[in-house]
């Protein structure tokens, strides 16, 4: 079970634009209960990706967002949110981004 969350400065800017407070709380609760909820991203050094829906962006219908995070198992469990983007903005991380996360 995750005990603590940290956010990159990029994620902080993105989350206020893409998720409501309640959606962000739902994401955190889901990851507290199941930190390995996301799929491992190949060649990213262990980063995971999960998908959620946001009504904060489009009030009429949900917008699919992708959340990139890293989960540390020990000594104290920690989830580090790296990037959040809507599927409408882009499909996936670039090879350069994956390499940067892996280092």
What is the architecture of the domain spanning 4-102? 2-Layer Sandwich (3.30)
State the DSSP code for 21: H
pLDDT at 86: 84
- pLDDT cut 90: percent of the chain above it: 12
The average pLDDT across 67-82 equals: 84
Q: Determine the Cα–Cα distance for residues 16 and 24; give it in Å rounded to an integer.
A: 9
Please return the burial class of 12, using the count of CB atoms within 10 Å of its CB with bins 0-12, 13-18 and 19+.
Answer: exposed
Residue 56 has pLDDT above 90, yes or no: no
Confidence of residue 81 (pLDDT cuts 50, 70, 90): very high
Phi-psi region of 46 (alpha: psi -120 to 50; beta: other; left: phi over 0): left
Residue 55 has pLDDT above 70, yes or no: no
Q: Indicate the domain borders of the chain.
A: 4-102
Q: What b/e string do you get for 60-96 counting C-beta neighbours within 10 Å, with b at 16 or more?
A: eeebebbbbbbbbeeeeebbbbbbbbbeeeeeebeee
Residue 102 has pLDDT above 60, yes or no: yes
Q: Determine the Cα–Cα distance for residues 55 and 62; give it in Å rounded to an integer.
A: 5
pLDDT at 53: 64
* pTM, to two decimals: 0.80
The average pLDDT across 48-72 equals: 73
């Amino acid at each position: 079970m995750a005990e603590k969350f940290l956010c990159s400065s990029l994620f902080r800017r993105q989350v206020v634009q893409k998720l409501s407070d309640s959606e962000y709380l739902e994401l955190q609760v889901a990851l507290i209960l199941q930190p390995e909820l996301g799929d491992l991203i190949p060649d990213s050094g262990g980063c995971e990706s999960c998908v959620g829906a946001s009504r904060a962006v489009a009030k009429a219908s949900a917008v699919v967002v992708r959340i990139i995070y890293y989960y540390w198992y020990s000594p104290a469990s920690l989830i580090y949110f790296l990037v959040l983007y809507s599927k409408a903005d882009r499909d996936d991380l670039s090879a350069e981004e994956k390499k940067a996360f892996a280092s």
